[in-house]
Amino acid sequence: MNVRPTHPAAVLASAAVVVLGVTTLVFLLLHLVPGDPVEVMLGEYASAGDRAALRAALGLDRHLALQWLDFMLGLAHGDLGVSLATGRPVAALLGGHFAMTALLAGASLAVAVVIGVPLGVLAALRAGRAWDTGSAVLAVLGMSVPNFVLGPFLMLIFAVGLGWFPIGGADSARALVLPAATLGLSLAALLARMTRAALLEELGRPYVLAARARGLPAARVVVGHALRNAALPIVTTLGLQLGALLGGAVVTETVFGWPGLGQLAVESIHRRDYPVVQGAVLLIALSYVLVNVLTDLLYARLDPRIGSGA
């Protein structure tokens, strides 16, 4: 059953509601701090004056609804408050980190597609044979292994043992390889299974038989015809899985010291710099909403049966 809206206007309307809900939830996050958030942030030995100043700066002395309104209005102007640790505007802080997370996510997607799709095609063409079984086991393993286990393993083999890549940081292009592989491999496993299933379904259709009967080379039938039609579920999977990817990035960035939004969020949690936590979480969540909207719109475009109010 498909409950996802398909008409562009419906997609955007539903996204607007979700964005409102997500921002409200992130706003409420600060108010979940047990006890007095100001005391938690400043410590119990802070002077009364400092507390009052921070309380006023955060707007915590006013009614919750007013604070919410302020938060939303600030957001509309790109104002996410000020970092308690550095005094810099949160929005400015997020920019550079966002670029690094986007770079990591893009590279991981590339890893997933380059590894996952060919593996899936091979498994579909050899369905039921040893290769297929082997790739199924690999896929379960790939989908089960958490980033914080795979990351150190890869680090151990390729950075410590073979010395091919740096252990962490973001000083060179080579530093991107291990984090991207860590994040991309589990998606590659999922993608391989999706590609296999979608391609097997297409290969059983009459047009494939017709193309084969016309004497087209097997490679052209598979890649040019069947895989093209199998692309729709594959693209949808990629879009939907980007959320898991962004979530996984938080952990992976911490493992490799990759200076992205996730690492910023985790560091800020340990520093009790809650405005930065709020900003980073909001930016990651909104990016995910945006990707989902784009996936829905793309889905409607790719499949002529959907859209136009159907």
Partner 1 sequence: MTLATRLAIAVLAAWITALAVAPAAADAVTAIDLTRMFEAPGVAAWMGTDDLGRSLAWRVVAGARVSLLVSAVVVTVTAAIGIAIGVTAAWLGGWIDLLLGRVIDVFLAFPGILLAIALAGVLGPGVGNVIIALGVVGWVGFARLARAQTLAVRERDHVAVARALGTPGFTIVYRHVLPLIAGPLVVEGTFALAAVIVAEAGLSFLGLGVQPPAPSWGSLIRDGTRYLLFAPHLVVMPGLALLSVVVAINLLGDRLRDRIQRGHRVGA
Backbone angles phi, psi at 82, to 5 degrees: -125, 140
- Mapped onto helix, strand or coil, the DSSP state of residue 82 is strand
Q: How far, rounded to the nearest angstrom, does the alpha carbon of residue 48 sit from its chain's CA centroid?
A: 42
1 binds partner 1 (CB under 8 A): yes
257 binds partner 1 (CB under 8 A): no
Q: Given candidates 18, 85, 91, 197, which one binds partner 1 under the rule CB under 8 A?
A: 18
Between 40 and 69, CB nearer to partner 1: 40
How many angstroms separate the CA atoms of 215 and 245, rounded? 42
Residue with tokens 């083999």: 157
- With vertex at residue 197, the alpha carbon angle to CA 287 and CA 199, rounded to the nearest 5 degrees, is 95
- Cα dist from 71 to 78, 79, 121, 256, 279, whole Å: 10, 8, 49, 33, 11
Q: Which of residues 27-46 bind partner 1 (CB under 8 A)?
A: 29-30, 32-34
Q: Given candidates 12, 16, 25, 310, which one binds partner 1 under the rule CB under 8 A?
A: 25
Between 48 and 137, CB nearer to partner 1: 137
Span from 62-70, 104-112, 170-178, 282-290 in contact with partner 1 (CB under 8 A): 282-290
CB neighbour list of residue 101: distance below 8 Å, 6 or more residues apart: 246, 249, 253, 260, 261, 262, 284
123 binds partner 1 (CB under 8 A): no
285 binds partner 1 (CB under 8 A): yes
Shortest Å, Cβ 297 to partner 1: 16
169 binds partner 1 (CB under 8 A): no
265 binds partner 1 (CB under 8 A): yes
13 binds partner 1 (CB under 8 A): no
How many angstroms separate the CA atoms of 158 and 202, rounded? 39
Number of residues that bind partner 1 (CB under 8 A): 51
- Mapped onto helix, strand or coil, the DSSP state of residue 185 is helix
Between 116 and 248, CB nearer to partner 1: 248
Shortest Å, Cβ 152 to partner 1: 5
Between 14 and 229, CB nearer to partner 1: 14
Residue 244 near residue 191, CB atoms below 8 Å: no
Span from 23-31, 74-82, 90-98, 205-213 in contact with partner 1 (CB under 8 A): 23-31
Token pair listed for 221: 């039938």
Q: What single-letter DSSP state applies at residue 93?
A: H
How many angstroms separate the CA atoms of 254 and 219, rounded? 42
Span from 18-26, 108-116, 222-230, 294-302 in contact with partner 1 (CB under 8 A): 18-26
SS3 letters across 215-269 = CCCHHHHHHHHHHHHHHHHHHHHHHHHHHHHHHHHHHHHHHHCCCCHHHHHHHHH
Shortest Å, Cβ 51 to partner 1: 19
- Mapped onto helix, strand or coil, the DSSP state of residue 143 is helix
Shortest Å, Cβ 219 to partner 1: 31
Q: Given candidates 255, 264, 276, 300, which one binds partner 1 under the rule CB under 8 A?
A: 255
> Where do contacts with partner 1 occur on this chain (CB under 8 A)?
1, 3, 14, 17-18, 21-22, 25-26, 29-30, 32-34, 137, 140-141, 143-149, 152-153, 155-156, 160, 243-248, 250-251, 254-255, 265-266, 269-270, 274, 277, 281, 284-285, 288-289, 292
